Amino acid sequence: MRKCYFDHVATNPLDSRVLDEMMPYFKEEFGNPLSMYELGSKAKEAIDNARGQVASLIGSKASEIVFTASGAEANNFALRGIALARQNEGKHAIVSKMEHHSILNSARFLEKMGFVVTYLPVDKHGVVDPDTVKKAIIKETTLISVTHASSEVGTIEPIKEIAAIAREKKIIFHTDAVATAGNIPIDIKDLGVDLLSMAAHQFYGPKGAGALYVREGLRIVPLIYGGIQENGRRAGTENVPAIAGMGKAAELAVNEMNSRIEHGRRLRDKLLKIKSSAENVHLTGHPENRLPGHASFCVEFIEGEAMLLLLSAKGVYAASGSACSSKALKASPVLLSMGIPSGLAQGSIVFTLGKDNTDDDIEYLLAEFPQVIKRLREISPYGKGWGIEGEGGQCTVQK
Amino acid sequence: MKFVEDLKADVTTDIVYMMCPMHLLKLEEKIRELDDGQILEIMTDYDGALEDIPGWCEKTGNEFLGIKETEDFYKFYIRKKVRKQ
């Protein structure tokens, strides 16, 4: 049976060139980077090299990159670290409703510690209006965090505009770029953010490696206490193979960015034909300003999980909502925040394409998916519609 | 402990919230970069530095000038020793 992997926002396969770069640090070059002898200095060199490669991916200085174990850790570090470092100036933070759980749950943690958090609304495409950011700012605001792009609906946010507002008010601005770093160009100076989170496995690097860009001169309270790794900002013996792999993956992403984007866009546009091959299938997220290989839909009258199961039986691997929401079997808060009714949000399905997907993969999906929808609607209690308004049935889509 | 006011430093390094022993590593690194007789200001929130930095100065022959306390952190002032010609 054909296997088609369309879940690149969940994770990417490891590039074999990245694995080659990592292997020596699993085997003969196993030293601790803090050790004074040659084994240690070889490991340290690998980390220094990777730091430069990751910095090149976003146009920062190498010294501004702090390696973490994941994008989620980078997000936790940014939110808690800045809120705590600046708590004497104020205890108010702003985040959007589009954020990943690692931001939303960090924000909830801050609330339990006595901070006040404003959750910004989004429009029907999932876009944060910079004006709402401006209106949410109060004297006590010390931190704003808005995702660069939603992995769930693919919408790219107006980060440059929001960063400018934060800068004018001398508020620290963080963006979660886990879905974008390595996938679309990022120039940290042009974006104007103070902190930015990345994850290696989102651009063909290994799991277990992430990074937080911290603008030079910014104070941040550590998340993990211990030794002097990462310039005294993140303790723990470094995962040298993973960091070396992240560096190599960043280098490859820089070199191959344009061709990957072009490839992703072309296949994505082809995949969007799904909308015309079955009725009542709605694109979610922004129609144009979205991640290159990202196609997300809400399919009326059926559930996302059921679609995933039937597609999986045909060798097609996709997602429904974020990886975490999918496990929780509940309507995605991101879709609900975009004004999508909960019934329709249950029918969420997300296809995210990568550099190794082919035209044949898309043809296969276009042939199989309408059959899956048809089959599920035949057995769905809502197969012929949402039922009578007022009896839990009415459901409208914002056009 | 010696407290100082209005001391003008030639170089400032901010290591607030960076973990121990960054205060000693940065101190060593920055002093190395200074010219003889120049003054280094180190900003840190690490209480242990109150013992460590004067102790390091005594051991290395650099002059510990004193500290200034702010609400959240300390400022340490160190003058690099003048080497004999």
* Min distance A38 CA to chain B CA atoms (Å): 21
Q: Is the pLDDT of residue A99 over 90?
A: yes
Count Cβ atoms below 10 Å from residue A291 Cβ, excluding itself.
29
Asked if the Cβ–Cβ distance from A228 to B14 is below 8 Å, we say no
b/e string for A172-184 if b means 16 or more Cβ within 10 A?
Answer: bbbbbbbbbbbbb
- What are the structural domains of chain B? 11-79 (3.30.110.40)
Q: Which residue of chain A comes nearest to B23, CA vs CA?
A: A232
pLDDT in tens, A303-356: 898 999 999 999 999 998 754 455 555 678 899 999 999 889 989 999 999 999
Q: What is the ipTM of this complex?
A: 0.79
pLDDT in tens, A29-45: 999 999 999 999 999 99
- Residue A81 contacts by C-beta under 8 Å, 6 or more apart in sequence? A220, A221, A222, A223, B17
Asked if the Cβ–Cβ distance from A228 to B19 is below 8 Å, we say yes
Helix (H) or strand (E) holding A67: strand A65-68
Tell me the average pLDDT across A375-394: 65
pLDDT band at A393 (very low <50, low <70, confident <90, very high): very low
pLDDT in tens, A222-241: 999 999 999 999 999 999 99
3-state class (DSSP) for residue A386: coil
Q: Which residue of chain A comes nearest to B72, CA vs CA?
A: A88
Write out the CATH class of domain A16-254.
alpha beta
Residue that is written with structure tokens 């850790």 in the block: A73
Q: Is the pLDDT of residue A391 over 50?
A: no
What local confidence, expressed as pLDDT, does residue B28 receive?
A: 95
Tell me the average pLDDT across A100-122: 96
Interchain CB contact of B14 with A (< 8 Å): yes
Q: What is the DSSP letter of A14?
A: P
Tell me the average pLDDT across A164-177: 98
pLDDT in tens, A244-293: 999 999 999 999 999 999 999 999 999 998 888 888 999 999 999 999 99
What local confidence, expressed as pLDDT, does residue A379 receive?
A: 87
A220: chain B residues, CB-CB within 8 Å: 17
Whether B57 is a known active-site residue: answer no
pLDDT in tens, A280-289: 999 999 999 9
Q: Which residue of chain B comes nearest to A233, CA vs CA?
A: B18
Beta-strand relationship, A141-145 and A92-96 = parallel
Catalytic residue among B16, B20, B25, B82: B20
pLDDT band at A77 (very low <50, low <70, confident <90, very high): very high
Quote the mean pLDDT of chain A: 93
* Min distance A238 CA to chain B CA atoms (Å): 16
Asked if the Cβ–Cβ distance from B72 to A220 is below 8 Å, we say no
**Which residue from A285, A271, A349, A275 is spatially nearest to A317, judged by alpha carbons?**
A349
A235: chain B residues, CB-CB within 8 Å: 19
Count Cβ atoms below 10 Å from residue B37 Cβ, excluding itself.
12
pLDDT band at A390 (very low <50, low <70, confident <90, very high): very low
What local confidence, expressed as pLDDT, does residue A329 receive?
A: 54
Catalytic residue among A4, A298, A324, A395: A324
Interchain CB contact of B19 with A (< 8 Å): yes
C-alpha span between A263 and A278 (Å, rounded): 25
C-alpha span between A305 and A326 (Å, rounded): 8
User: What is A4-10+257-379's CATH superfamily?
Assistant: Aspartate Aminotransferase, domain 1 (3.90.1150.10)
End-to-end CA distance of chain A: 38
What local confidence, expressed as pLDDT, does residue A381 receive?
A: 72
Tell me the average pLDDT across A168-185: 98
Q: What is the DSSP letter of A64?
A: G
Q: Which residue of chain B comes nearest to A86, CA vs CA?
A: B72
**Which residue from A195, A128, A193 is spatially nearest to A164, judged by alpha carbons?**
A193
Percent of chain A with pLDDT over 70: 93
Residue that is written with structure tokens 């300003």 in the block: A289
Q: List the domain boundaries for chain A.
A: 4-10+257-379, 16-254
What secondary structure, in 3-state letters, does A198-251 show? EEHHHHCCCCCCEEEEECCCCCCCCCCCCCCHHHHCCCCCCCHHHHHHHHHHHH
B20: chain A residues, CB-CB within 8 Å: 228, 232
**Which residue from A152, A201, A159, A153 is spatially nearest to A176, judged by alpha carbons?**
A159
Q: Is the pLDDT of residue A398 over 60?
A: no
Asked if the Cβ–Cβ distance from A231 to B22 is below 8 Å, we say yes
Task: Select from A217, A220, A228 the Cβ nearest to the Cβ of B21.
Answer: A228
Asked if the Cβ–Cβ distance from B17 to A228 is below 8 Å, we say no
Ranges of chain B whose pLDDT falls below 70:
none
What secondary structure, in 3-state letters, does chain B show? CCECCCCCCCEEEECCCCCCCHHHHHHHHHHHHCCCCCEEEEEECCCCHHHHHHHHHHHHCCEEEEEEECCCCEEEEEECCCCCC
What local confidence, expressed as pLDDT, does residue A363 receive?
A: 96
Task: State the pTM of this model.
Answer: 0.91
pLDDT in tens, B44-53: 999 999 999 9
